[in-house]
Structure formats: structure tokens, C-alpha cells
Chains A and B, each alone.
Chain A
Amino acid sequence: MAWQTLGSRDRDENVVRGAVLIVLVGALLGLTYNFWGLKSNPAYGIAWIGEQRVLESVEALMADGGAESPTSTSGPGSAFPESDEPLQIQIAGVKRLFDAGDALILDAREPDEFEAGHIAGAVNLPFSEVTPDRIEGVDSGGRPIVTYCDGECEVSMDLAWELVLQAGHRKVLVFMGGFPEWEAAGYPVGTGSGDADATSFTTYIDDPMAFFGSDDADGADGGPALPEIPEIDRPLSTELDTVKQFFDAKAAVLLDTREAEEYVEGHIPGALSYPYDRVGEDPRQLDGIDAGGRPIIAYCGGGTCEISMGVADALIARGHRKVLVFMGGFPEWEAAGYPVVRGEGPY
């Protein structure tokens, strides 16, 4: 009996030893393989440690260099950590963001409740009317988004999750106390659909000043002056409004880095098709781009925008400067209702 027990324990130890061995050999093979993969193709190799790549934003640079602006990134909103889950916020925090104008406040209740009374300046996005388009159209300009409803209710939480999961927002805060707590505290309240309906929502997105926040950014002709893009040897990220400004002024070269088929299905007018995989095969083709001192804006299909970052890096490597990556990409452009053309275009 004792002999049997001893024997089976021995064999169990063998099983454990084998398991450890398998895991070690597998992990070692995988890491070695990736080491070689990185060397063979630097642009699309996969980094050892996962890190969502974030480019410094040109708008943030502008805001720092420009006049004091209420929407500069140094407001209280920038104090909130980025998170891939909605966070809860208390009334004091909401009030601080409200006073600084440093948050997009979304009312998740139904329109009639909204009209009866809401946090002043809040935008009504009833959870019952949420569509993927509307969720993806929410642009807080990098500020936190605060959602609320009638106190302990589910819809503000649901809306917050939609913003995180569908639109990729990273600073989504849920004000659990909601409108009742806000009203009871005697804080500013707005009524009616007023200026805070879906229209002002669009106006907000289209208003370039929302990003630069400075009146003296206006040019002599009354239109907004184009931001000066620094000539540095790294790409910067940029947002929809800036891209639109450059597009309107025809003051930038636009590069579509998506697959050729996607380009044919629809692209920003005048954009050149430089699919990332072809650029990866032969980056020298980028030498043919004559920007003439204008910025080059690369865009892709949204998301984390890895592929346009890859092309942007290649542009820098081939000696181009003033390289921007339009993070929202084609989906954001299209959702904003800006011009789109189909078919083969200039290459």
C-alpha cells in the first residue's frame, strides 16, 4: 500500500514537471519567434509589451502655446485617469468640471424629461435613441464625458458603457446622483430643448474654436487661421476639426492609408491612396509626395490607427516633416457629414 502511494506521488510529480516544461518551452519559443519577427519587419512587428500608442496631439500643442483658453487640456478634466471602464463621479466633481466647462455632459433621459429640466449646457442623448452612429459621433474634444439620469438609474450607466465599448472613449464618468441631486443642490438648471439638443451637438463638433478656444486665432479674413504645424521629426495626432480646416483651405496633403478597395469605396476628396501594406513593402514610393511645405495628414479606418501611424513613421523616415495622423480617420469624417468621393483617385 505504502509502495503504491509512493509510486503514484512520483508519477504526479512527473505530470507537474512535464506541465512546467511544456509552458516554459512554449513561452521561450514564442518570445524567440517574435524576436526574429521584429527584426524582419520593424513596421509591423509586435512589441514586447502591449501599449496603446498615443501621439502627442497638435491641438494640445496649440492650446499650450496659445492664449489662455477654457478648453485647454490643463483644465480639471485632464486630471481624470483614462480607463476602459466608466468611472463614477460625485456631485462635487461634476460641479468642478461644469464650472471649468471642461466636460461634455450627456443627459441620458427621455426628451420630455430633459425639456422639463436638465443640468445647464447638457446635451440630450436619450439612451432609447442611441444608435451606433450617434454614439460614434460623440466628440468631447478630449474632455471627460459625464452621463447622468434620474438618480439611481441604469440608463446613464448603459450609455457610459456604449461610449466606452462602441466609441472607445476613455474618460467616461457616471454621475450617479443625477439630475435630482444637481437640482437639490441649487446648481444651474436649463429647461426646454433650448440650445442643448442634437443640433448644438453637431455645432459643437463642427466648431474648430472648441479645440483652440482662443478668439485671436481668427485670421485677417475672418476665418479661423490654420494652426502652424511644427517641423519636427515625429508624427503628431490631430482631430477632425483641424483636418477639416486644412481640407477647406486645401492646405494639406491627405494620405489614405487603408487598403486600396476601401479607398475606392469612399475617401476624403483629393486624398492620395497609400495603402500601408504597399508602403511597408517599399517606403521609397513616399518620396514621390510633394507636400511643398504643407502638412501631410495620414488617416485610416479609425480605431487605434496603428496603420496610419506606421505610414506616418515611414514618412518621417523618408525625410518628410509636418506629419499628422488623423486619429478618427475616415469613419469620423464620414459621420460628420463631410464630403466623400468614391472610385479610383489620384495615387
Chain B
Amino acid sequence: MDALKRFLHDRRAIRVSQIVVGVIFLFAALPKIGDLGSFALQIHNYRAIPVALENVMAMTLPWIELVIALALLLGIYARSGAVLSAGLMGVFLVAIGQAVARGLDIDCGCFGTTDATEVGFVKLAEDVGLLVLAVVASLRAR
């Protein structure tokens, strides 16, 4: 247990987690920025937020993901980026979870339109994995 704790708070382990999460966020953000319309539609398909907010979310969320990615990769406010990425993964977890629970047959929209993965338990598992990684990335080195 102590060994795990020591490993998790190891400067290098945290830095590696930050870079991995950063790269994933970078590849999640860019396709959405390139095809805003499709992303807005994917958000609409989740039927989870009011229609009036869908476009605003489509416009801002990918850019926030991009800035988070840059913060994590460049190591500028990296812990802030990691905390935000963990928070976002939590939100996505709820969004995908409710879509699966309601039986919606929709594209995930996680990595833009090229990723035509439908929401399901695989996506949920991926999401949980990334959430764990993001939490590790947000730990303070000792």
C-alpha cells in the first residue's frame, strides 16, 4: 500500500500520466474543432442539456479540452489541467451512463466524427480508465 502510494506520488509517474492524458485530450479536441457542426449534433443526440446551450457547449468545450491538453503537455498549470480533465471525465461518464441507461443508440462523439464508436459499456470502461489516469495526474508530487 505504501509502495503504491509512493509510486503514485512519484514525480515521474505523475508527469507521465499528465502527458498521456494531455495527448488523449489533444486528439479528442482537434477533430471537434474541425467539425463543429457534427459535434453540436452529437451533443444534441445525448438529449442531456437544453437545446439553447448545445451550440455554446459545442463551441467552447473542444477549445477548453485543447487548452487543458496544452497545460498538461507543457507543464504550465499542469495540476489545474489534470483536475479539470478528471472533472470532465466525470461529466462524460454521467453523460454516457445516462445515454446507455436510456438505451440511446448514438455516436459517442468523444473523438469527433472519425470515431464512430457508439456509446456502450466499452466506452464507459475507457472513460473510467482515463478518469483514474487523470486523478493520478492531478496528485501532488512528494
B104 interface hit (Cβ, 8 Å): yes
**A17-49 vs B: 1/0 string, CB under 8 Å?**
111011101110111011001000000101111
Determine if A29 and B104 form an interchain contact, defined as CB atoms under 8 angstroms apart.
no
B117 interface hit (Cβ, 8 Å): no
Determine if B59 and A31 form an interchain contact, defined as CB atoms under 8 angstroms apart.
yes
Interface residues of B, count at CB 8 A: 32
A50 interface hit (Cβ, 8 Å): yes
A84 interface hit (Cβ, 8 Å): yes
B77 interface hit (Cβ, 8 Å): yes
**A40-64 vs B: 1/0 string, CB under 8 Å?**
0000101111111000000000000
In residues 62-93 of chain B, which contact A (Cβ within 8 Å)?
Answer: 62-68, 71, 77, 79-81, 83-84
A184 interface hit (Cβ, 8 Å): no
Chain A binding surface, main DSSP class: helix
Q: Which residue of B lies closest to A84 (CB)?
A: B47
- Among the listed B36, B52, B56, B68, which residue makes an inter-chain contact with A26, where contact means beta carbons less than 8 Å apart? B68
A284 interface hit (Cβ, 8 Å): no
Residues of A contacting B140 with CB < 8 Å? 11
Distance in angstroms between the alpha carbons of A11 and B80 in the assembled complex: 11
- Among the listed A19, A31, A51, which residue makes an inter-chain contact with B52, where contact means beta carbons less than 8 Å apart? A51
The distance from the CB of A283 to the nearest CB of chain B, in whole angstroms, is: 19
Binding site for B on A (CB under 8 A): 11, 14-19, 21-23, 25-27, 29-31, 33-34, 37, 44, 46-52, 84, 165
Given contacts A23-B64, A27-B60, 16 further A-B contacts (CB under 8 A): A15-B77, A15-B79, A17-B80, A18-B80, A19-B80, A21-B77, A22-B77, A23-B84, A26-B66, A30-B64, A33-B33, A33-B59, A37-B36, A44-B37, A46-B55, A51-B51
Enumerate 7 A-B pairs (CB-CB under 8 Å) in ascending A order.
A19-B81, A19-B83, A23-B64, A27-B60, A27-B64, A37-B36, A46-B37
Closest 5 CB pairs of A and B: A18-B80, A26-B64, A18-B77, A30-B63, A50-B54
